Amino acid sequence: MMSEFLPAMRHLVAGRLRAGGLSQSRISALLGITQASVSLYLSRDSRKAYSSLARFSVTQGQADRYANQLAAEAGRSAVVAVGALHDIWTDLLGSGSVCQAHRALYPSLADCDVCIKEYGRRKGERTEAISEVTEAVRMLEASPTFVVVMPEVSVNIACAAGDAQSPADVVAVPGRIVKVKNRAKAMLPPEAGASVHMSRVLLLVRGKNPRIRACLNLRYDDKMAAAMRKAGLRTLRIGGYPTAGVTDPTAEAIERALKRSPVSFDAVVDEGESGIEPNVYLFAAGAKEVAELALRLARAYSAA
């Protein structure tokens, strides 16, 4: 972890933060390393980092998603970023991905399976959540009406695995669900840690109501408002976005609204503003349930 995995992830995360316009001194503060170390990482070819991570069976695509997630979390809070890093590492331990590299250093551990037993439960929970989201995506893709309620920013569906505490424990669709020939189509199969934004929204609402395990976003306009009223959905409205410097203004607005709202709700209405498209976020006890709710609204929207 300390000699290979962490330096490789720091290398990739430093590159993401620099590409986001941060100075070397700011990156140094966020990552808890010296500015000289940041400069060294930025001067190196990222292939070295990918090669180090490959020893743990981490593909370049996975490495990029981990780096994007950690860069986003580092900008939010050092504590949250450490938690996300911990979840990524223990997931690798539980999957057995680290065993080969560990045994190469210590041949006496040839028969050891302690990490798999200790951390494998979380992997099983994520596998179940992936199955849930996969089925929900099939439902959306099969619908002839769902496409009419898809926003321009596209759709994603997120589902918490077990007692999810970070985006690494939330399954979503990489690249989102987009419009293809008047039907919804997922870009890639669901996987854990695929959407930092949807994960943050879901985890914030789960903090208020642990029964909630899934969320999905749709377009919002007058017709959607009417469909939601007809369905009897309780809503929480957000607005007054935070000022500059916030990476996810919608999630920040939801967090502020939750602190002052004692009422229960089924959906969060984001009316948007300049540069932010209006959306509604639906919540339910599972991925299939939230997909069924979205399809019901799509049918009502189409009939209006």
Q: What is the dihedral of CA 268, 271, 272, 274, to 10 degrees?
A: -170
CATH 3.40.225.10 in the chain is located at 121-303
**Residue 87 has what pLDDT?**
84
**Residue 162 has what pLDDT?**
86
The pTM is what? 0.65
The domain defined by 121-303 folds into L-fuculose-1-phosphate Aldolase (3.40.225)
- Indicate the SS3 state at residue 183: strand
* 217, 281 contact by CB (below 8 A): yes
Integer Cα distance of 180 and 85 in angstroms: 35
Beta strand 157-160 with 214-219 is antiparallel
Tokens of 121: 């439960």
Which residue, among 7, 104, 92, has the nearest Cα to 49 in the 3D structure?
A: 7
**Residue 245 has what pLDDT?**
62
Integer Cα distance of 199 and 192 in angstroms: 10
Tokens of 283: 């919540």
Burial 257-292 (b: 16+ CB within 10 A, else e): bbeeeeeebbbbbbebeeeeebbbbbbbebbbbbbe
Which residue, among 172, 144, 178, 173, has the nearest Cα to 160 in the 3D structure?
A: 172
Tokens of 290: 């939230």
H or E segment and range at residue 294? helix 287-303
* Signed CA dihedral, 146, 150, 156, 159: sign only: negative
Radius of gyration of the chain (CA): 21
**Residue 241 has what pLDDT?**
66
Q: How far is CA 200 from CA 1, 48, 171, 193, 254, in A?
A: 26, 31, 12, 11, 10
* Signed CA dihedral, 145, 290, 220, 155: sign only: negative
pLDDT profile of the chain (304 residues), mean per 10:
93 94 93 94 94 91 92 82 87 87 88 83 80 95 96 96 87 94 92 90 93 96 96 89 69 89 88 85 97 97 91
Burial class of residue 222 in the structure, from the number of CB atoms within 10 Å of its CB (0-12 exposed, 13-18 middle, 19+ buried) = exposed
**Residue 40 has what pLDDT?**
95
Q: How far is CA 75 from CA 23, 26, 61, 63, 269, in A?
A: 13, 10, 22, 18, 26
Q: How many other C-beta atoms can be found within 10 angstroms of the C-beta atom of residue 75? A: 20
